[in-house]
């Protein structure tokens, strides 16, 4: 058996008192990834809103604009994997708070303002602490392997053409 021949049984569970089978909540990586991402985003959104007055999507945009100042809505949406409307709404919220602004001569290119850069630095410390706590119990090598697996997962996701 090769990696390409993963058996269905690896991911399935029998439903008690039924002849049905479905994805396992404990063994199907896609289910676990979805559950983890949903819970992580919900917790982050509450925390960031309570402490900093911004949501999880706004935090993603602070990171995006720190990494790539001058990013457009389309580029940000492709990079983050979120629809353009959500990116546009986030940028407008950040602009209203004085945290991001379009370039004067190129209104489709967005960058952080000085307050936006300061807020990013403040939240980054908290985000790093949360990340380390989430990965507690894993060695640096295991984190690298996990990261590599997630990167491959994202690459494979790009090739799905449903």
CATH number, residue 94: 1.10.10.10
Domain span at residue 82? 30-159
Specify if 43 maps to a domain: yes
Specify if 15 maps to a domain: no
The tally of domains found in the chain comes to 1
Specify if 25 maps to a domain: no
Question: How confident is the model over 56-112, as pLDDT tens digits?
Answer: 999 999 999 999 999 999 999 999 989 999 999 999 999 999 999 999 999 999 999
Mean pLDDT of the chain: 93
Smallest CA-to-CA distance from 54 within 101, 85, 89, 103 is with: 89
Q: Is the pTM of this model over 0.85?
A: no
Specify if 46 maps to a domain: yes
Specify if 138 maps to a domain: yes
- What are the angstrom distances between the C-alpha of 42 and each of 28, 83, 144? 21, 18, 25
Residue 2 has pLDDT above 80, yes or no: no
Specify if 37 maps to a domain: yes
Smallest CA-to-CA distance from 112 within 59, 44, 74, 45 is with: 59
DSSP character at residue 61: H
């Amino acid at each position: 058996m090769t990696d390409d021949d993963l058996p269905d049984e690896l991911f399935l569970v029998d439903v008690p008192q039924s002849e049905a089978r479905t994805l396992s909540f404990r063994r199907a990586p896609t289910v676990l990834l979805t559950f983890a991402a949903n819970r992580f985003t919900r917790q982050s959104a509450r925390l960031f809103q309570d402490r900093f007055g911004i949501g999880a999507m706004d935090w993603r945009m602070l990171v995006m604009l720190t990494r790539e100042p001058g990013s457009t809505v389309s580029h940000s949406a492709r990079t983050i994997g979120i629809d353009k409307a959500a990116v546009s709404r986030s940028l407008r919220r950040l602009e209203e708070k004085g945290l991001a602004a379009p370039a004067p001569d190129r209104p489709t290119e967005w960058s952080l303002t000085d307050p936006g850069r300061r807020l990013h630095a403040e939240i980054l410390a908290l985000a790093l602490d949360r990340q380390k706590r989430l990965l507690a119990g894993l060695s640096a090598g295991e984190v690298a392997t996990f990261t590599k697996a997630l990167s491959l997962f994202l690459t494979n996701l790009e090739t799905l053409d449903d």
